[in-house]
Structure 1
């Protein structure tokens, strides 16, 4: 009994800490204003489909579940973020144990202390379900590496398929697991003497099949959009892009944890090369392989800061295996959680004056006030609709405006959405509306949907007197071409 009680105590303390952290994250998720991209994903959930213009469907499914429980609110949109983060933490802990890295608590703590994981847990993007199912795939594969049943291959394929339904970056996961199986003695024994690894692969492909079929019916638009990013190549700026990649990860992983992860993956690579160890090889396959792909991408184009987050589930396990991990775990965790708390406070209220380009002002600031101003301006000019030509602005207004004041969007992307209702909400030609257009755009508005357009003035949104973005207002009149050019966006507010 005395040998087991410390384990029970540690498990209780970890569960308690993770539970409190999850409650905090749920509260923060409820308090942070909904970002334009999140409002955009909310729109996806109003038009269920197997695929969308930008990504597969999983983020829309998660938003649909959350809003069914808590309405069209920040908490509803983000509900599954903190919950999946808590479940993913347990999966990382168990994967670390399976791979022989102590009791796994260090790996779970390091992952939760990264700014990437902490901030990502309170926002809803395609990366949120991707990271969760990536972790589940690693967890199931770790059971195989530890000598578990071959039926774990089916679980691995199931999790990998759901990751692919979240974001196309999951192709790196399938490639990594495949290379791990081919290049390790354990993996080859399974591949060449058992059908279950192949059944796992078939399971993953079946789960991804609806996304393929949707793309086939929509001119392969989503594949083309995401695949087009690989075509950008600016080798003259490679040093800049590599510097941004490394510097960004130092900040987003937090410095101590980033260094521990880098050293841990390097050590795992040496072990895998020398011994063909299955556990070390799995960490290399799911951590080092994606890292090398992002480094290669940075030689010719910019890597967005959130993309490499898929490296960290394997990386924190490798870091926790280091002899120095015990000494650096506490300072790394304290620094990481402190930085994450500062980011939470700044996202909610922007108390720190970080300048006009500060993201929490530019992205999150002033959307409710802007919506009220837009509604008041529409009443002043007798507008029966609001028009936009930018998906983020349109998504925010659609989420917040009442159904009595529909939002009409002028953007080719909407033709790929199964939006409900008539394109122009049954409004006839000659109906007056209000066009809102960001002042970041220097070109003239598209006149094709309108028979008349008149500049009215400007409005702005922001926080604490700091402007996040300014907009021009135009009085417009629906023309005969409007139904073919405009899309009516669903409304998230009451009539």
Structure 2
């Protein structure tokens, strides 16, 4: 025991790195052994990684760069696409350890890493590839560098802060909340204000701009495609307030951060006694500047329109440090530790489902896995249908199907994959990359997932006839059905007001 305490006292960073490394090995093994197929979004990120650029239709480029780097070493099989996820989350956890140690103590830093790594959202995000997996490490590094700049301003800290901020923006534009948090902390905290309104703050801003600059230039050259998509996701033009959506959002946050962890976070903000330690008090306020904005803004968006559970994920790196700091002196310390135990159990369940997804069928929960099942079978059936035929292209009317077949058809002999456009302009990467080329419309196999689109698709072809259907079991009672047609003479009708009126009236009958 004495030697263990000595090792922790002398080398806490090494101890934490060892624990994080051990968990990473376990999660990497789960990724490698999991039979779960890539989902459509993961397949889309893989497609981007095949052609490196400074931006893509719906996201900045960092996720594509990361997948390209890892898959170039291990291959582009499913686990090669996903392997970056557990590694990146491990890096985020170590940044939070370093932040907690700098702001409080090595013990708080270790607890912060534990709260982060055991979050159910991170456990899930460690076995799939998502933009959060590349955003949260950059976000955590930004928090660390900004705090260090606050405590000990210097040129190198400013440079690293600029790199981390720019990298976060290259991961996901939700990193804008970092700027909101920095502005709030500068407003409320004199030390942060002094650090940012200085030559070092200017250096950080310049470096961040240099890092992000090529992506902004790419957007300008592509009609601000990524920016427009991000704005469309907000759907603020379709405001329809519903308080029940806000309640659902709060429940979803329990699933992301952990049920008891989230309750402790909220309860702690309202029920804790005032802190006499001025350093602890100012640090809590500083952390809240990075917790509150994403939670409140996304909660308001959920009430007004809609919001996915992970859209507020950027609140939880700082929240992990805050909960860890409370363990040192909060009266509900046992509850905080119990919350970690609950999160560990949830993470274990996620691991079991990742390794044995058939368990979900026995629990009548196969619907939760239908987006990561059946894509290989779908691609194989399409290969059989088009083999020894003069099929010139396969056209889809759903981006998810296009991406699933694109990835799982990468080693098959399939005709070119094309995507039908509902509007004149492309509204997804599939529609952008899958535009019909000249000469490809002589014998098109249309595989329609959207039955309501069939009359519109038919009107875009000179000749259009039924050709059966394709069915793929997704587990349980779920089946993916694609209605098949043969078409030729593709000449899309102008998407005018008359066009909309014509089909809207027929669809309402």
Whether TM-score is above 0.5 comes out as yes
* Distance change >3 Å, CA 305–CA 480, structure 1 → 2: closer
Q: Give the Cα–Cα distance (whole angstroms) in 2 for the partners of residues 271 and 229 of structure 1.
A: 40
What stretches of structure 1 of length at least 5 have no aligned partner? 483-495
Is residue 2:367 matched to residue 1:358? yes
Give 2:27's match in structure 1, choosing from 21, 25, 34. Answer: 25
1:250-269 superposed Cα distances (whole Å, 9 cap, x missing partner): 12222111123334555899
Tell me if structure 1 keeps the 8 A contact 2:70–2:83: yes
Shift of 1:243: 0.6
Tell me if structure 2 keeps the 8 A contact 1:49–1:418: no
| 3-state SS of 2:455 partner | coil
Aligned to 1:63: 67
* Distance change >3 Å, CA 468–CA 318, structure 1 → 2: farther
Is residue 2:251 matched to residue 1:247? yes
* Distance change >3 Å, CA 240–CA 180, structure 1 → 2: same
Q: Give the Cα–Cα distance (whole angstroms) in 2 for the partners of residues 269 and 198 of structure 1.
A: 38
Give the number of equivalent residue pairs: 478
Tell me if structure 2 keeps the 8 A contact 1:455–1:475: yes
* Distance change >3 Å, CA 291–CA 112, structure 1 → 2: same
Is residue 2:445 matched to residue 1:434? yes
Could you tell which deviates more after superposition, 317-326 or 161-170?
317-326
Tell me if structure 2 keeps the 8 A contact 1:142–1:282: no
Tell me if structure 1 keeps the 8 A contact 2:323–2:336: no
Shift of 1:389: 2.3
Q: How do 1:10-409 and structure 2 match up within 5 A?
A: 14-30=16-32, 31=34, 32-103=36-107, 104-147=109-152, 149=154, 151-192=156-197, 194-232=198-236, 237-264=241-268, 278-322=282-326, 323-324=330-331, 326-348=333-355, 349-353=357-361, 354-355=363-364, 358-360=367-369, 362-379=370-387, 382-401=390-409, 402=411, 404-405=413-414, 406-409=416-419
| 3-state SS of 2:372 partner | coil
* Distance change >3 Å, CA 11–CA 156, structure 1 → 2: closer
Tell me if structure 2 keeps the 8 A contact 1:454–1:476: yes
* Distance change >3 Å, CA 200–CA 266, structure 1 → 2: farther
* Distance change >3 Å, CA 456–CA 84, structure 1 → 2: same
Could you tell which deviates more after superposition, 196-205 or 343-352?
343-352
Tell me if structure 2 keeps the 8 A contact 1:261–1:316: no
Aligned to 2:466: 455
Shift of 1:375: 1.1
1:156-210 superposed Cα distances (whole Å, 9 cap, x missing partner): 2210111111111111111211331233111232244x30111101211222222
| 3-state SS of 1:302 partner | coil
Aligned to 1:488: none
Could you tell which deviates more after superposition, 377-386 or 77-86?
377-386
Cα RMSD (Å): 3.2
1:74-107 superposed Cα distances (whole Å, 9 cap, x missing partner): 1221121111111111111111111115521111
Tell me if structure 1 keeps the 8 A contact 2:149–2:195: no
Tell me if structure 1 keeps the 8 A contact 2:241–2:303: yes
Specify which structure has the higher proportion of helix: 2
Q: Give the Cα–Cα distance (whole angstroms) in 2 for the partners of residues 325 and 146 of structure 1.
A: 30
User: TM-score when scaled to structure 1?
Assistant: 0.86
| 3-state SS of 2:478 partner | strand
Tell me if structure 1 keeps the 8 A contact 2:12–2:106: no
Tell me if structure 2 keeps the 8 A contact 1:433–1:477: yes
| 3-state SS of 1:459 partner | strand
User: TM-score when scaled to structure 2?
Assistant: 0.84
Q: Give the Cα–Cα distance (whole angstroms) in 2 for the partners of residues 6 and 416 of structure 1.
A: 49
| 3-state SS of 1:140 partner | helix
Q: Give the Cα–Cα distance (whole angstroms) in 2 for the partners of residues 351 and 122 of structure 1.
A: 17
Q: Give the Cα–Cα distance (whole angstroms) in 2 for the partners of residues 20 and 97 of structure 1.
A: 21
Shift of 1:286: 1.3
* Distance change >3 Å, CA 127–CA 441, structure 1 → 2: farther
Could you tell which deviates more after superposition, 4-13 or 296-305?
4-13
Tell me if structure 1 keeps the 8 A contact 2:60–2:170: yes
Q: Give the Cα–Cα distance (whole angstroms) in 1 for the partners of residues 319 and 63 of structure 2.
A: 25
* Distance change >3 Å, CA 291–CA 151, structure 1 → 2: same
* Distance change >3 Å, CA 49–CA 155, structure 1 → 2: same
* Distance change >3 Å, CA 69–CA 452, structure 1 → 2: farther
1:261-305 superposed Cα distances (whole Å, 9 cap, x missing partner): 334555899769988955223311211222222223233122211
Shift of 1:8: 5.6
